[in-house]
Chain A
Amino acid sequence: MFSALPTAQFLTKIRGLPRLSVEMIEETGPVFMLGFMSDGGFFDEMWAGGEAARSPYAAFHDWITDEDPARLRAKQREAEEVFRLTGITFNVYGRKEAEERLIPFDIVPRIISGREWQKLSRGIEQRVVAINAFLHDIYHRQEILKAGRVPKEMIAGNEAFLPQMMGVMPPGGIYTHIVGIDLVRTGEDEFFVLEDNARTPSGVSYMLENRETMLRMFPELFAREKVRNVSNYPLRLQKSLAESAPSGTSGDPTVALLTPGIFNSAYFEHSFLANNMGVELVEGHDLRVVDGRLCMRTTEGYKAIDVLYRRVDDDFLDPLNFRPDSTLGVPGIFDVYRSGAVTLANAPGTGISDDKAIYSYMPDIVEFYTGEKAILQNVPTWRCSDPDSLNYVLDNLEDLVVKEVHGSGGYGMLVGPAASKKEIRDFRKKLETRPSNYIAQPTLALSTVPIFTKNGLAPRHVDLRPFVLMSPKGIRITPGGLTRVAMKKGSLVVNSSQGGGTKDTWVLDD
């Protein structure tokens, strides 16, 4: 989720589209041929810098300007058909049960140079190492609290802190087997981490299917450009999970993926990953604790599981240890975990590291555990629990983005510059009632990447979620990740639940 400031100037300018065909000129009014972003405003990853496309986009730009828009439109429709038939859909909460929707897919790739990626991936690795070290520390000696780098009350009073994890050592010492780091860009060399996702990050199936779709539709593009491969992600995930099995595991570890079920919004992804890893996709009612082991009910009886990649939240994991009303989990699974007989990926309690209030301490956290300055910048953040910050936020609501500390999916947030007077008034009340529930950030001038519209190319705001795998044997980062794009003109919210779409993301082998 991200937000930035749509200026009036930007909204006017965005109407000008780079030319793809002569017909479109009439429909769209003034046409800015190229470089419509060159005079300030937002950084467009294709057009910034003037006349020519930026170098990572040069070859693609040559290709697309030679293409017949009618063919591209046909390809766009074809892509949607592929997605529908493959069932790459998500369920929308709060609507009719089981309603399945497609996430819009745009055929213009988001392209990152090898050099840019190298820096990003070093920053990501550093951050993930620090997150894991932080979790281990918080659930053991709490040195960082003793050193005063993170205030004690940020942990003690935090809903995301799981006291049951105190003193529990996860197999291999890994807490965060799968992490998604949300990045945004504001300029040539300016990347920010918008948030860390250390619980159960989703979206990787879209990354993979987007690439498959592009390969199928435009094979000629991949012949021209060296795009780094992402399709081995499921194998690497399987390997990484197997490497994280409890130390007593004999033979090949049995891995399974736990889904809340067919009505979950990410069910497609769960079945996709299980399928491509070649592991069982289980639900709570398939599992049971037998003789101190976590077991699944098979046609040949109960079979032990060594590693459970769970896509069920902590709260619902174990009705005996956490929420008693949960029907999604397995009674007693946490006791098996504590005894070291099963690996849960990710470990319970990782939410304390991606909590939005903890986020603001990430630069300190990185430095504390790695001894280095953070390579990736944080977005400046006001913690509303602090009275001075709260006052500042209340005085500047029109210019800020305010988020719930535990919120996700773009729900429950205020985008000041885009909000009505009434929305700001209402939000002010919420803030005053429960300040510690909120953080605020400045609206960022988020970069744009063109999307293909019926009138040609038009810039839209994007973010990027790279996916990181971690096992005792090491860290694997898939080159690229999921680019989410706000399909609505001027919109800053990219969440699929709010009408966002996705793009294939290319990291070039340069």
Chain B
Amino acid sequence: MLGKTANGLYWMFRYLERAENNARLIETGQRIALTRSGATTDEWTPVMKTTGTDAAFSEKYEAVTKESAIDWMLRDAENPSSVRSSIEAARQNARMVRTALTAEVWSAMNGCYIDVKSKLTRRVNERDLPNVLGLIRQRTALVRGATHGTMLRNDSYDFARIGTFLERADNTARILDTKYYVLLPTSAPVGSQLDNIQWETILRSVSGAAGFRAAYGQTVKPTEIVRFLILDKRMPRSLNFCCSKIRDNLGYLASEYGDKRKSHQMADDLCRRFMSHDVEAIFDYGLHEYIQDVVAALNSLGHQIERDYRFFA
């Protein structure tokens, strides 16, 4: 496989995942804003901070309003991570690697692009927002489904999966990092219940509210949220889950190509982090520092994969 193709697959699926995650973040922000009657607290700045675009936003807008924040995250062409930009980038990469995709995956991707783009040509009003966000999640899920159902389990699939899980791990880590302070033992007496709004924000942002209740019951404790989102391998958006998927897919590449590269060691090291820590140890180390370490490790793992598999040179 061409290095360029590996790169294109990796980024196609990263952007697809990013589009979906951002749609979910907007949905969460909107939900919180609606259910928090009369409150003036700005829910949107942390959301934009999660996507790493808050600085660029404040260059363009003087104040944060619900409308401007939603528009920025949903369809602003100046925001490289907006849903529209992400879907365009995913589709552009898909065009580039079309020879490595099945016809089903390509037409799901192209259909996703055509439909989402037509919904996002104009500002989306609040009444239409739930439908538009629903469409985005549905169409991105269709691409993922076609990928599962029709792609050969070879290196193409591996690079697609690695891109997906690196992006997802990064997203979960960022969500945790923007909200880490509410999960700290010092912010409330240990064992006390969190502010409903806060934990709801976190869990909804990863589609994890119902999953959490099923696994941990109705009482929401900060330590358990941390356990759920970092260590719990049942949770498909937890850091542990995502990183072990990355390691697995790198492992398939190693057996297909017959050699291990630097990135394999890095992925093993990253996964060991989640095995050797129980949740108390994470708090002892410092939640913020721990998450920062993981984000940095994910970053350098991504760069190493690019080098190992000759994405660019």
- Determine whether the beta carbon of A286 is less than 8 Å from that of B4: yes
**B187 interfacial contact with A, CB 8 Å:** no
How many residue-residue contacts, CB under 8 A, span A and B? 59
- Determine whether the beta carbon of A297 is less than 8 Å from that of B3: yes
- Determine whether the beta carbon of B110 is less than 8 Å from that of A87: yes
Chain B residues contacting A365 (CB-CB under 8 Å) are none
Known contacts A297-B310, A298-B310, A299-B257: does B2 contact A87 (CB below 8 Å)? no
Question: Contacting B2 at CB < 8 Å: which of A262, A267, A296?
Answer: A296
Known contacts A84-B114, A85-B111: does B3 contact A299 (CB below 8 Å)? yes
Q: Is the interface of A mostly helix, strand, loop or mixed?
A: mixed
Chain A residues contacting B107 (CB-CB under 8 Å) are 85-87
A287 — nearest CB in chain B belongs to which residue? B2
**Interface membership of chain B positions 158-169, coded 1 if the CB is closer than 8 angstroms to chain A and 0 otherwise:** 000000000000
Q: How large is the interface on B (under 10, 10 to 19, 20 to 34, 35 or more residues)?
A: 20 to 34
Please report A residues at the B interface, Cβ cutoff 8 Å: 84-87, 262, 267, 271, 274-275, 280-283, 285-286, 296-301
Among the 9-residue stretches B27-35, B94-102, B171-179, B224-232, the one with 4 or more Cβ atoms under 8 Å from chain A is: B94-102
What are 13 A-B interface contacts by the 8 Å CB criterion? Answer: A85-B107, A86-B107, A87-B98, A87-B110, A267-B95, A271-B95, A275-B98, A296-B2, A298-B1, A298-B3, A299-B1, A299-B3, A299-B309
Query: Which B residues, 264 to 313, have Cβ-Cβ distances below 8 Å to chain A?
Result: 309-310, 313
**Interface membership of chain B positions 75-115, coded 1 if the CB is closer than 8 angstroms to chain A and 0 otherwise:** 00000000000000000100110110001001100110010
Chain B residues contacting A87 (CB-CB under 8 Å) are 95, 98, 106-107, 110
The docked-state distance in angstroms from the alpha carbon of A160 to that of B235 is 64
**B155 interfacial contact with A, CB 8 Å:** yes
- If A86-B103, A87-B110, A301-B310 are given as contacts, then 18 extra A-B residue pairs at C-beta distance below 8 Å, sorted by A number, are A85-B107, A85-B114, A87-B98, A87-B106, A87-B107, A267-B95, A271-B95, A274-B99, A280-B1, A281-B98, A281-B99, A282-B2, A286-B2, A298-B2, A299-B2, A299-B3, A299-B253, A299-B310
Output the least CB separation between B297 and chain A (Å). Answer: 22
Please report B residues at the A interface, Cβ cutoff 8 Å: 1-6, 92, 95-96, 98-99, 103, 106-107, 110-111, 114, 155, 253, 257, 309-310, 313
Chain B residues contacting A285 (CB-CB under 8 Å) are 4
- Determine whether the beta carbon of B99 is less than 8 Å from that of A297: no
- Determine whether the beta carbon of A300 is less than 8 Å from that of B257: yes
The docked-state distance in angstroms from the alpha carbon of A87 to that of B110 is 7
Output the least CB separation between A300 and chain B (Å). Answer: 6
Known contacts A87-B106, A267-B95, A275-B99: does B2 contact A297 (CB below 8 Å)? yes
Max chain B Cβ within 10 angstroms of own Cβ: one of A87, A262, A297? A87
